[in-house]
Amino acid sequence: MLKNILAVALAISVFLSDGDSHAAEKAKKVVYFGAITLYHPVVMYQKYQPLMTYLTQHTPYKFELKLNQDYRKIVEFLDRREVQIALLGGSTYVRAKEKTNLVPILKPLGADGTPFYRCAFIARSDNASIRKLADLRGKSVAFPSLLSTSGFVVPVYCLYTKAGISLKDLKSHQNFRYHDLVAREVLRGSFDAGVVIDHVAGQYEGRGLKTVMKSDPIPGLPFVVRADEDPALVNAVKRALLALDYRNPEHRAIMSQWDAELRYGFTEAADQDYDGVREIIRFLKKRRLLAN
């Protein structure tokens, strides 16, 4: 009888504590977080919702994910204050800053501990005709969004400066919404080659795709806020994410649930970190290789 009473008491205690926890969470101010569409929205939710949970648990705010299906939408969300913080690509940030005063606050570290990533040119593993970048001349190529840094801006720059190839030298090319969709299109043979962010290329190595070439390092995807955003929110987010250390097993276990682009920790970001991206955009526009 005593055991039953204790069990009931414990269950009630847990229920009440959970209720208190949910009540406290509901009382928090809601902060909306947006991100560029690297993947299908369902996959985006799976990869980014655990980050929202972590930020809700480690800041005085409740974070909610606001998904979209286009790079331009996330910029519109920031401009209209529909999101308070967003994960952008370097070129998306550079272009968005021209009309909205944005500030980069953090950028993720890569597996090597540096705040950079790369784009990867991919082809089917059994495609012997594509072994190097120059082999893409006269081939069909799939790209992610026109606004994607690693999926379009840097690849177009690489093709032109490293192989003398412009888009008109390709047999055909097409832009898709998501990086993982590009990989699948190449895998099924719809295109001779494609370009994706490097960790997506890594997911398909040994599964029918090969990496033909990787770009030079690209500055990590910036977490951005409007310049007039509440400093308390900015500081809370920075404290929560900068506290994570990939070398700490507990922290590593937390981040293992997040997108591969975010699971190695963070460092502070500054506007000048993306000057190289600005130079690439200017270079391409001057030669009419990139639309305004």
Q: Is residue 187 part of a domain?
A: yes
pLDDT at 70: 78
- How far apart (Å, rounded) are the C-alpha atoms in residues 214 and 228? 37
Please give the torsion angle defined by the CA atoms of residues 249, 253, 258 and 263, in that order, rounded to the nearest 10 degrees.
10
| Residue 12 confidence (pLDDT) above 90 | no
Q: Looking at the structure, tell me whether residues 33 and 108 fall in a common domain.
A: yes
Q: Looking at the structure, tell me whether residues 130 and 106 fall in a common domain.
A: no
| Residue 79 confidence (pLDDT) above 80 | yes
- How far apart (Å, rounded) are the C-alpha atoms in residues 35 and 64? 12
pLDDT at 18: 52
Structural domain harbouring 147: 119-216
Structure tokens at 1: 């009888």
Q: Looking at the structure, tell me whether residues 245 and 263 fall in a common domain.
A: yes
Number of domains in the chain: 2
AA letter at 247? R
Mean pLDDT of the chain: 92
Cβ atoms of 42 and 49 closer than 8 Å = no
Q: Looking at the structure, tell me whether residues 98 and 231 fall in a common domain.
A: yes
pLDDT at 20: 52
Residue 72 — very low, low, confident or very high, per pLDDT cuts 50/70/90? confident
Q: Is residue 16 part of a domain?
A: no
pLDDT at 3: 46
CA distances from 218 to 82, 153, 208 (A): 28, 11, 26
- The predicted model scores a pTM of 0.88
Condensed to tens digits (0 to 9), the pLDDT of residues 162-200 reads 999 999 999 999 999 999 999 999 999 999 999 999 999
